[in-house]
Amino acid sequence: QFPFGRRLPCDIYWHGVSFHDNNIFSGQVNKFPGMMETVRKITLSRAMRTMQDLFPLEYNFYPRSWILPEELPLFVAEFRVMKDSNPSWKPTFIVKPDGGCQGDGIYLIKDPSDIRLTGSIQSRPAVVQEYICKPLLMDKLKFDIRLYVLLKSLEPLEIYIAKDGLSRFCTQPYQEPTLKNLHQVFMHLTNYSLNIHSGNFIHSDSVNTGSKRTFSSILCRLSSRGADVKKLWSDIISLVIKTIIALTPELKVYYQSDIPAGKPGPTCFQILGFDILLMKNLKPMLLEVNANPSMRIEHEQELSPGVFENVPSPVDEEVKVAVIRDTLRLVDPQKKKRKDTQVTVPPQQQWFGVQEHPGLWDLSPWRGWMGGALRSFQADPSAVLCCRCQSLEPAPGASEELPDAPPSPEAALPSLCLKQVFPKYAKQFSYLRLVDRVAALFIRFLGVKGTTKLGPTGFRTFIRNCKLSNSNFSMAAVDILYIDITRRWNSMGIDHKESGMCLQAFVEAFFCLAQKKYKSLPLHEQVESLIDFCECRLAALRDKRLVWGCG
C-alpha cells in the first residue's frame, strides 16, 4: 500500500476511490477517469433519458425521473395532468440526493408538495423517481440485487458480469406505500447500511438465509416455483449492456481528457455495482450504478454497548473474493505474454508481489492472499495497491521456500465467475450506440487536448465541415443555437471549471439539428441519418485533404 504515492512502475494500480494519479504512464488502473461523475444519480438519469427518447421500449427498465431543482415545475405540471386525467391514480415517488450514498437523505412522497425544500436544494440537487410499488417479495420482505460488472475496456467495449451477486433484504414485512408507512425505511429501503441498524437484521453463516443472501439462492427458490430463470438472466444481461452503452459516451469524453490519444498513459478497467430490483412479474428494474461498490467481507458485531468487533461474512466472501480474483486474472499482464510465448511459467513467476511500505502489509503468494488483502485494504480505501509480477524473486518478506505450484497459474484456480457479455452479444445491441457516435464527433472537434467542453469556434467548425448550414439555417442561427443551449446547461450547475458546451448540451443541439433536417422520421432515425451524413462529409473532407497532400 502506498498512502503517499508510489515510486516504481507497476502492472496494476488499485485505487481505493477514484482515478487520481497523473503520474501513471503505463500499466492498468482499476478506475476510469470520470466514472464517479458519470454514475451520479443526476448524470445517470440524464443519460438514461436520452436513450429513452431514442429507444423508449428498450430503456423502459429505468423509472421515470425528474431532476431537482430545475425540473420541479415540470414534475408538478406532469403530476397535475396525470391526476386530472385519472383521479383514482395514487402514485408514490422516491427522492434521492444526487451525491447521496448508503441510503442517506432518501425519502418517499405522495405529492410534489411533500418535497423537502428546507435547507438549500440548490446546494444539494436530487432526483425524484416513480417508486416501484409492486416488487417481488421473498418471505414477505422486499429485497434488491447487487450485481458486480467488470468494465474491462472502453474501446473496444468489453463487459463481464459476475455469475453470482448479493440479495439485500429489508427487515420489516412489505406493504404498499401509504401515508402511514411512508417513513418506515426498514420496509421500503433495501440499503444494507440502513437495515443493519434494525433489530430484525439477521447475520447468517448460510448463503440461503438471513438479511443478506447470494443471488443464486434466490434464483434457486424462483426456479423451484417454476419461474423462467434463464429469461430473467437474459433480461438482466440486456439491462446491464444497455446501461453501459448509455454511460460510455460521457466516459469517453473524460477518458480523452485525462489520457489523450498519442500520450503515454495507462489502460483502465473498473468493477461496478449494479443495484437492481425485481418486480412482481420478474421484470428487472435498474435502481442505480455504484462506481465504488463495497468490497468488505466482514461485518461489525456489537459485543457490548459501544464495543464492536469485525466478524467474517461468508456471503460477502463467497461473492466478492471471486469477483476480485477473476478481475485480476482477466487483466493479468503476464497472461498475454504467456500466450505469446507458450512457455510454462516457473513457480516464482506465479506470485504477485506488493512493493512494500514500512509498517504496512505485504501481499503474500497468489494462493490465500485475497481475503487478507481485502481486510487490509478496506482499512484505508484511499490508498493505492500496486502489484507487479515478480521474476525469479519471492515477494518482499516472503519465505525463500516456495510451496509447490501447478504447471500453469490458472490450473489451481476455479473456473471464472465473470461471464463476458460484450462483445459476445454485440450484434444484438450495436444499433443502440448512436450517442457513442455523436460523442465521437464531439471529441473530434474539441480541438484542445485535455478539455471536456466544446467552444464556439469548435461548434462552428463542426457545422461548416459537415455542411449543415444553408439559407434556412445561417451561421448566425448556429451561434444563437450554441449560446442558448450552452447557457441553459451551464445554469444547471454542470461543471463550471471549464466554459463551453458539454457533451450533454452537444447531444441536445445535435438532436435539434437532426429534427430540422429530417422532419418526417422518428427521432432515432433522424439522429442516425444525421450521423451518417456527418460521417460521410468528414470522410470526403479527409480524402480531399489526402489528395491535396499528395499533390
Which of 256-260, 282-286, 469-473 has the highest mean predicted lDDT (pLDDT)? Answer: 282-286
- Sorted by where each begins, the domain ranges of the chain are 12-63+132-300+310-334, 431-548
Which carries the bigger pLDDT value, residue 306 or residue 31?
Answer: 31
Q: Check if the beta carbon of residue 8 is closer than 8 Å to that of residue 361.
A: no
pLDDT at position 306 = 74
Angle between helices 229-258 and 503-517 (to 10 degrees): 110
125, amino acid identity: P
| Cα separation, 510 vs 317, whole angstroms | 47
Q: Residue 83: pLDDT band by 50, 70, 90 thresholds?
A: confident
Cα 255 from chain centroid (whole Å): 14
In the predicted model, is pLDDT for residue 350 greater than 60? no
pLDDT at position 312 = 87
pLDDT tens, 109-161? 999 988 876 555 555 789 999 999 999 999 999 999 999 999 999 999 999 99
In the predicted model, is pLDDT for residue 174 greater than 50? yes
In the predicted model, is pLDDT for residue 434 greater than 50? yes
Q: Check if the beta carbon of residue 286 is closer than 8 Å to that of residue 257.
A: no
| Cα separation, 42 vs 533, whole angstroms | 31
Which string of DSSP letters, residue by residue, matches 390-442? -SSSPPTT--SSPPP--SSTTTTSPPPSEEEEETTTHHHHGGGTHHHHHHHHH
Mean pLDDT within 449-462: 90
Residue with cell 458480469: 161
pLDDT tens, 212-237? 999 999 999 999 999 999 999 999 99
In the predicted model, is pLDDT for residue 352 greater than 60? no
Residue with cell 439462492: 217
Residues 6+ apart with CB under 8 A from 311: 203, 298, 299, 300, 301
pLDDT at position 9 = 77
CATH superfamily, region 12-63+132-300+310-334 = ATP-grasp fold, B domain (3.30.470.20)
Residue with cell 401509504: 178
pLDDT at position 451 = 86
In the predicted model, is pLDDT for residue 526 greater than 50? yes
In the predicted model, is pLDDT for residue 528 greater than 80? yes
| Cα separation, 143 vs 212, whole angstroms | 9
pLDDT at position 502 = 94
Q: Check if the beta carbon of residue 75 is closer than 8 Å to that of residue 66.
A: yes
Cell triple for residue 109? Answer: 412522497
Rg (CA), the chain: 26
- Average pLDDT over the chain, rounded to an integer: 84
Mean pLDDT within 488-493: 82
> Shortest CA distance to 192 belongs to which of 313, 284, 72?
313
Q: Residue 498: pLDDT band by 50, 70, 90 thresholds?
A: confident
pLDDT at position 386 = 58
Q: Give me the count of residues in the chain.
A: 551
Cell triple for residue 70? Answer: 430545475
pLDDT tens, 389-424? 444 344 444 444 445 545 566 667 788 999 999 999
pLDDT at position 22 = 66
Peptide bond into 135 cis (omega under 30): no
3-state secondary structure of 355: coil
Ramachandran sector of residue 282 (left: φ over 0; alpha: ψ -120 to 50; beta: rest) = left
Q: Check if the beta carbon of residue 25 is closer than 8 Å to that of residue 246.
A: no
pLDDT at position 80 = 92
| Cα separation, 176 vs 363, whole angstroms | 49
pLDDT at position 362 = 36
Percentage of the chain exceeding pLDDT 90: 56
At the top level of CATH, which class does the domain 431-548 belong to?
mainly alpha
The pTM is what? 0.85
Integer CA distances (angstroms), 485 to 50, 68, 157, 466, 467, in order: 16, 19, 30, 20, 21
